[in-house]
Chain A
Amino acid sequence: DAGITQSPRYKITETGRQVTLMCHQTWSHSYMFWYRQDLGHGLRLIYYSAAADITDKGEVPDGYVVSRSKTENFPLTLESATRSQTSVYFCASSQAGRRTEAFFGQGTRLTVV
């Protein structure tokens, strides 16, 4: 399917476990982003990537790891999940340059118990 897809859509995990959220886009967009959405905080940037093998921290990177070995994939790993990481996670992608609106995945609702 064309577009940007996230998996899984819903995930429940236990404190201390490692969990990976997947993000795949078919547009060959150079930029990809990970956000978390929490009530009262809007969307906060966790990590972003300008191209394969180029990643950079956003506003709230602690406890998260990303990689981007291929342009189309941008997985987000929680190395040791904590309850404070319970959130809705959005992946997005965009082209570089002007008028660079981002296109979002459907979101992953993660619950850490």
Chain B
Amino acid sequence: AQKITQTQPGMFVQEKEAVTLDCTYDTSDPSYGLFWYKQPSSGEMIFLIYQGSYDQQNATEGRYSLNFQKARKSANLVISASQLGDSAMYFCAMREQLYTGANSKLTFGKGITLSVRP
């Protein structure tokens, strides 16, 4: 069963507007973390933001924020004031068993391509 689902195949946004990239996840573990990474055309993987399952508030990092809805098992990335440099592939990832010390693998979704139009 797919743990991380990113169903938007490609997204377009006008420069300076906000955009939401969707991510849903599946886990029965109460202790998990959710991550978003950016992969520009140059290929490197850049960490953007983290949300822990026990965190009381939604995570924010500069122009990035995470709309975390635990009951719906969704962790959507919101990018405010889009810039041309935001054009990239975006991956949602999950790590389970964060607090138990057990083997904790990091699982990725298939990614979403974001194109920012000038």
Which residues of A does B touch, CB under 8 Å? Answer: 31, 33, 35, 40-45, 48, 50, 54, 56, 58-59, 88, 90, 92, 94, 96-104, 106-107
Given A42-B110, A58-B105, A100-B104, residue A92 in contact with residue B33 (CB < 8 A): no
Closest to B99 in A: A98
Task: Pick the interface stretch among B14-22, B42-50, B80-88.
Answer: B42-50
- The secondary structure that dominates the B interface is loop
Most chain B C-beta atoms within 10 Å of own C-beta, residue among A40, A41, A42: A42
Interface string of B77-110 (1 = CB under 8 A from A): 0000000000000010101001101011111111
Are B106 and A33 in touch, CB under 8 angstroms? yes
Which residues of B does A touch, CB under 8 Å? Answer: 6, 33, 35, 43-45, 47, 50, 52, 91, 93, 95, 98-99, 101, 103-111
